[in-house]
Amino acid sequence: MHATTSRRGRRTVAAVAGSAVLALFASACTGSSESGGNDDSASGKDVTITFWHGWSQDNEVKAINDTIAAFEKAHPNIHVKPVGNVADDKVNQALRAGGDDAPDVVSSFTTNNVGMFCSTKAFIDLKPLLQKSGIDAARTFPAAMLNYTQFQGNQCSLPLLGDAYGLYYNKKAFAAAGITAPPKTFGEFADDARKLTVADGDSYKQLGFMPLYHGYESTTEHFLGQYGATYFGADGKSNIATDPKVAAMLSWQKGLVDQLGGYAKLDKYRATFGEEFSAKNPFQTGQVAMAIDGEWRTASLADNKPDFDWATAPFPVPDDQAAAYGRGYQTGTIVGIASTSKKQAAAWEFVKFLTTDTDAVVNFANAIHNVPSTFDALNSPKLVSDPNFKTFLDVAKNPNSGTTPASVNGGGYIVSLQNLGYDVESGKQPDVQAGLAATARQIDTDIAQAK
Amino acid sequence: MSLAFGTRKGPGTGATDPAAPSTQHLLRRKRRREAARTLAFLSPWLIGFGVFFVYPLVSTAYFSFTQYNGFGSPTFNGLKNWNYVLDELPTFWQGLRNTVWLVLVMVTLRVAFGLGIGLLITRVKTGAGFFRTVFYLPYLAPPVAATVAFAFLLNPGTGPLNHLLGELGLPQPGWFADPNWSKPALTLLAMWGIGDLMVIFMASLLDVPKEQYEAAELDGAGPFQRFRYVTLPNVSPIIMFAVVTGVIQTMQYYTQAIVAGKVASGIAGNSGQQFEPGFPQGSTWTLPQMVYNLGFQRFNYGAACVVALVLFAISMAVTSILLRRRSGFMSSDD
């Protein structure tokens, strides 16, 4: 009886475990089909294209719908069916499967998948279409934005508004500490951060700056944007161990952590922070006097009206790169055309309008408070801006601004570097160079495996 | 009886009976019909087993030997994925260690706590319904909501628990923000949602014959001996059930670990940010998270399938061992 029961038990367990495996891997795989470039839309035939995007908030949905309406007015025979609030997982499934319900045009909030979209040809290369339309990409889009929308020469996506990062500072705290201007170099920045720090027992009443990598936007890639790191060499292999800028950044951040009280004390203080995207953001509550953040914070600060004056400036740069002051990290939303689309001519007209029509880009940027993604839009008089927002427009225009390049395995290499950063800041990895060498090896192994 | 069994003339033995071949034929037809009927009754299960178990398992095994990123066609790459996961990916072993820790500690404590609460509630004379409800309700909380609530309660800087510990002059752990405390914090969360096991144990405990306790008492058995020699043998099949299902569930531990890490890390994962699963310092990184990360974030389906197969093999091995050793846990008449 025991043996029978055991067999039954094993079968039950096998079924349960098998279901678990299924739940993890039930995704079917089908190859992507070839493109369908000629949809007769150019000859005036009515064509309806499907556009998947991730915007979900009322003002965002209204803004994108207004942009679509402007496009349809300019192209009466092309109709756009928008599908909002679509996550990247669903996008990937749809691009794999194709079919009538699959999107023709897709936008994504993350640049992580660009390497995969380009290398697998899930998105078509837009370079021939740009050339055919007489658009010089280098003269149209800022360099960093062009960089994160292509992979190894394949321009399979284009920027659709962007995010730029800069310094936010509390003017009231600056005045109290006797600081008259925002810092421009890391040396000045460290001095100011110390002056702005007000102790409260074994914690802080006010911290000058939260340097920990979990301090919201204080990430390795955002700091490296100030150094101009490139992440990969010409051979496509990780250069973080050979590029001295990366080691310099890790050491600079660790030094700042130690100067401001050490990892344990800072991490405990970090745990008291409210939600990043809420009125409890530590900069808005006055818990930190300076922060690195994106342009979107200008809108939330204007809405939440903290009880102090604030201003923005480019984030400081390393002392030995003072001439590069004004640069910053950039990222943003991307848009591309599915290779499974049978209506690529109409889809291109739509993508071209979304990404290069100056009025469309400016109106959309004004509506959702993002940075425009073309030079013409960045310089447009119609762009609503004030001195605080202008900081981010200037960062976007700065040719020295940087980004994180696309990779075949998404943001895996950034996570590997970030993990090293956590080990360095906490003291778990005291040898920065050895840590970088091991991380570079791991990044190369991961990418080789994914190819 | 044995004589009659061995010597009687009947179907299948009567070679000289002229009617025998047709009887044999009829019998075979009857057996075939019975087999077909049995198969028909089993078919829903067989179809489900084939579609939901055999096909995914075979597919997973196949993909583990291929290079596949979800687009195009998979290409055979031999043992490359296996070598990568087992030899070149240190986070695999970190995930395995964390998963094994959770299986050993979380399952053990959940079963012990569930049995303990069940024992206490079956002994409560008044207000049993109230306590049953109080202990069962947390089980109904959605895992994400429960984890977020725990992350706030256990926030090392602002959480009420640490505030209370501070008032009492006790150490204030970092909980989800401290690599040494993150797994114990997840275990606390799992024990809080003990309602499922409590109900099962209560039903089992209430089913123990009272006469056995009375007989044990007459023989001079104390409370511990009554538990050891009466209660435990009676509830051992339920303990085995709780352990086996607990092991399988914990091998698939995903939601609570990733939500706790995300809330405690403060990384919202917006544009320009990379969320690092396993916060802090990989201490909550489990193999199911790795399957998702490799497959759907790094587009390496082959390697993800290897991790899934390893998980499956461990689940099967642990369960088989438990079931084989089951007799040691079971009452003698089971």
Q: Give, for all 451 residues of chain A, the pLDDT tens digit.
A: 344 444 454 454 444 444 444 344 333 333 333 445 667 777 778 999 999 999 988 889 999 999 999 999 999 999 999 999 888 778 888 887 777 788 999 999 888 889 988 988 889 999 999 999 999 999 999 999 999 999 999 999 999 999 999 999 999 999 999 999 999 999 999 999 999 999 998 899 999 999 999 888 999 999 999 999 999 998 889 999 999 999 999 999 999 999 999 999 998 898 888 878 888 899 999 999 999 999 999 998 998 899 999 999 999 999 999 999 999 999 999 999 999 899 999 999 999 999 999 999 999 999 999 999 999 999 999 999 899 999 999 999 999 999 999 998 888 899 899 989 999 999 999 999 999 999 999 999 999 887 7
- How many Cα atoms are found within 13 Å in the side-chain-facing hemisphere of B274? 24
Are A274 and A307 contained in the same domain?
yes
Q: Which residue of A has its CA nearest to B331?
A: A2
At which residue do the structure tokens 């435990």 appear?
A: B232
Are A153 and A170 contained in the same domain?
no
Are A244 and A265 contained in the same domain?
yes
Instruction: Please write down the HEC assignment for all residues of chain A.
Output: CHHHHHHHHHHHHHHHHHHHHHHHHCCCCCCCCCCCCCCCHHHCCCEEEEEECCCCCHHHHHHHHHHHHHHHHHCCCEEEEEECCCCHHHHHHHHHHCCCCCCCEEEECCCCCHHHHHHCCCECCCHHHHHHCCCCHHHHCCHHHHHHCCECCECCCEEEEEEEEEEEEEHHHHHHCCCCCCCCEHHHHHHHHHHHCEEECCEEEEEEECCCCCCCCCCHHHHHCCCCCCCECCCCCECCCCCHHHHHHHHHHHHHHHHCCCHHHHHHHHCCCCCCCCCCCHHHHCCEEEEEEECHHHHHHHHHCCCCCEEEECCCECHHHHHHCCCCEEEEEEEEEECCCCCHHHHHHHHHHHHHCHHHHHHHHHHHCCECCCHHHHCCCCCCCCHHHHHHHHHHHCCCCECCCCCCCCCHHHHHHHHHHHHHHCCCCCCHHHHHHHHHHHHHHHHHHHC
**What does each C-alpha distance from A144 to A162, A247, A406 come to in angstroms?**
10, 22, 11
pLDDT in the model for residue B271 = 54
In a domain, B134, yes or no: yes
Taking the C-alpha atoms of residue A344 and residue A382, their distance in angstroms, rounded to an integer, is 31
Are A169 and A159 contained in the same domain?
no
A50 strand-pairing partners = A81
Cβ contacts of B69 on chain A, cutoff 8 Å: 116, 120, 408, 450
Distance (Å) from the alpha carbon of A6 to chain B's nearest alpha carbon: 6
Average pLDDT for chain B: 86
Q: Max Cα separation, chain B?
A: 98
Please check whether residue B292 is in contact with residue B60, taking contact to mean a CB–CB distance below 8 angstroms: no
In a domain, B288, yes or no: yes
Are A178 and A253 contained in the same domain?
yes
User: Which of B54, B71, B284 is the best residue to mutate to test the A interface, defined by the most A CB atoms within 10 Å of its own CB?
Assistant: B71
Taking the C-alpha atoms of residue B152 and residue A231, their distance in angstroms, rounded to an integer, is 37
Are A368 and A393 contained in the same domain?
yes
In a domain, B11, yes or no: no
Q: Return phi, psi of residue A341, to 5°.
A: -65, 140
Cβ contacts of B245 on chain A, cutoff 8 Å: 16
Question: Does residue B13 carry a pLDDT above 70?
Answer: no
Are B188 and B276 contained in the same domain?
yes
Are A247 and A341 contained in the same domain?
no
Asked if A33 reaches chain B (Cβ–Cβ under 8 Å), the answer is: no
- Which of A20, A271, A294 is facing B156, going by the closest CB pair? A271
Question: Does residue B78 carry a pLDDT above 80?
Answer: yes
Are A364 and A306 contained in the same domain?
no
Pairing of strands A105-108, A47-52: parallel
Q: pLDDT band for position B332 (50/70/90)?
A: very low
SS3 state at B66: strand
Please check whether residue A71 is in contact with residue A361, taking contact to mean a CB–CB distance below 8 angstroms: no
Between positions 94 and 133 of A, the ones with CB within 8 A of B are: 95-96, 109-112, 116, 120-122
Q: What DSSP character marks residue B298?
A: S
At which residue do the structure tokens 């009420």 appear?
A: B160
Taking the C-alpha atoms of residue A394 and residue A379, their distance in angstroms, rounded to an integer, is 10
User: Which of A8, A19, A22 is the best residue to mutate to test the B interface, defined by the most B CB atoms within 10 Å of its own CB?
Assistant: A22
Which tokens belong to A123?
A: 């998105």
Whole-number CA gyration radius for chain B = 28
Are B284 and B175 contained in the same domain?
yes
Cβ contacts of B300 on chain A, cutoff 8 Å: 409, 449-450
At which residue do the structure tokens 């012990």 appear?
A: B112
Q: What DSSP character marks residue B228?
A: I
- B217-248 pLDDT, tens digit each: 999 999 999 999 999 999 999 999 999 999 99
Domain residues for the domain of B215 are 84-328
In a domain, B99, yes or no: yes
Are B191 and B127 contained in the same domain?
yes
pLDDT in the model for residue B20 = 60
Are B39 and B150 contained in the same domain?
no
Are A204 and A78 contained in the same domain?
no
Please check whether residue A301 is in contact with residue A310, taking contact to mean a CB–CB distance below 8 angstroms: yes
Burial class (CB in 10 A: 0-12, 13-18, 19+), A231: buried
Asked if A402 reaches chain B (Cβ–Cβ under 8 Å), the answer is: no
Between the CA atoms of A85, A90, A95 and A99, what dihedral angle is there, to the nearest 10 degrees?
Answer: -90
pLDDT in the model for residue B330 = 55
Relative orientation angle of helices B195-206 and B108-123, to the nearest 10 degrees? 50
Q: Are A18 and B56 within 8 A, CB to CB?
A: yes
In a domain, B62, yes or no: no
In a domain, B292, yes or no: yes
Sign, Cα dihedral of A85, A87, A90, A94: positive
- pTM for this prediction: 0.80
Domain count, chain B: 2
Residue B63 CB: number of other CB atoms within 10 A? 23
Are A103 and A153 contained in the same domain?
yes
Domain residues for the domain of A292 are 165-329+408-450
Are A57 and A186 contained in the same domain?
no
At which residue do the structure tokens 């960062």 appear?
A: A395
In a domain, B161, yes or no: yes
Are B90 and B226 contained in the same domain?
yes
Are B164 and B46 contained in the same domain?
no
Taking the C-alpha atoms of residue B192 and residue B200, their distance in angstroms, rounded to an integer, is 16
- Which of A14, A25, A410 is facing B297, going by the closest CB pair? A410
CATH number at residue B279: 1.10.3720.10
Which bin fits A153, alpha (ψ -120 to 50), beta or left (φ > 0)?
Answer: left
Q: Return phi, psi of residue A403, to 5°.
A: -150, -175
Asked if A89 reaches chain B (Cβ–Cβ under 8 Å), the answer is: yes
Q: pLDDT band for position B270 (50/70/90)?
A: low
Distance (Å) from the alpha carbon of B44 to chain A's nearest alpha carbon: 14
Are A275 and A413 contained in the same domain?
yes
Taking the C-alpha atoms of residue B215 and residue B233, their distance in angstroms, rounded to an integer, is 15
In a domain, B10, yes or no: no
Domain count, chain A: 2
SS3 state at B76: strand
Out of A357, A378, A397, pick the residue that ends a domain: A397
Top pLDDT among A384 and B333 is at A384
For A123-137, b/e burial (b = at least 16 CB within 10 A) is bbbbeebbeeeebeb
Are B28 and B105 contained in the same domain?
no
For A17-31, b/e burial (b = at least 16 CB within 10 A) is bbebbbebbeeebee
In a domain, A29, yes or no: no
CATH number at residue A141: 3.40.190.10
Are B169 and B32 contained in the same domain?
no
Instruction: Pinpoint the alpha helices (H) of B179-300.
Output: 182-192, 195-206, 210-218, 223-226, 232-251, 255-265, 287-292
Are B266 and B125 contained in the same domain?
yes
Are B45 and B94 contained in the same domain?
no
